[in-house]
Amino acid sequence: MDLTDGERLIVVMLADLMEAMKVKREIDPALVQRLVINRDDWALRLQYPGIFDSEAPSDAEVRETVDILAMWSFVEYSVGELDQPEQDEIKAMPWQFSGFDGNHDRHHGIAHTLIHDLDRFSEFKERSLNSHSQATLPRYRVILGRYNEAMHGCGGEPFTADQLRTILAPAAAAA
């Protein structure tokens, strides 16, 4: 990224304003100001990769993110519909939705936009969407394959405990 002198001045002034107004956001204005003044523009891209991605997510990535969020929504709904002993058993399995890797996975930004900006999948709104692990997406893909198979026969009814065991069991093996 190459900032012009005018852009540098604007960035520094905006960072000053954010600090003076005590605006607390994901972007650290003191860091941004320091990096811009020192001409360490490369560090901005490293620190805030979501801002400086060179290309938008593909339709396939958006679709997969929607499919994964819909899957987790339905799985969690199904777990909530089970009798208490079965619920406890399924909840003890290592399967919970933990978000996507915020540093290496475009699905994280897509999920954030869907949940926080477009008000979709509101049940995930209060959760951290950063799993901090590149292993989550491959694990979700394994579960999604099983989920899709099970959805063909469920007729929209919540999954049974047996179906959930089948769908979620590969998650532990793939993790």
pLDDT digits (tens, 9 = 90+) for 80-137: 999 999 999 999 888 889 999 988 899 999 999 999 999 999 999 999 999 999 999 9
* In contact, 100 and 107? CB cutoff 8 Å: yes
What per-residue confidence (pLDDT) applies to 103? 84
Residues 47 and 64 in one domain: no
Residues contacting residue 142 through CB under 8 Å, at least 6 positions apart: 170, 171, 173, 174
Interaxial angle between packed helices 84-91 and 161-174, expressed in degrees from 0 to 180 and rounded to the nearest 10? 10
| The last residue of a domain, from among 35, 52, 69 | 52
- Are residue 161 and residue 79 in the same domain, yes or no? yes
Q: Are residues 44 and 78 in the same domain?
A: no
Shared domain check, 146 and 69: yes
What's the CATH number where 150 sits? 1.10.3190.10
Cα→Cα distances 107→38, 57, 124, 146, Å: 32, 8, 14, 20
Domain residues for 90?
59-174
pLDDT of residue 170: 57
Instruction: Average the pLDDT over 150-161 and give the result.
Output: 88
Q: Do 40 and 66 fall within a single domain? A: no
Residues 37, 87: one domain?
A: no
Q: Please indicate, yes or no, whether residues 111 and 146 belong to a single structural domain of this protein.
A: yes
pLDDT at 168: 92
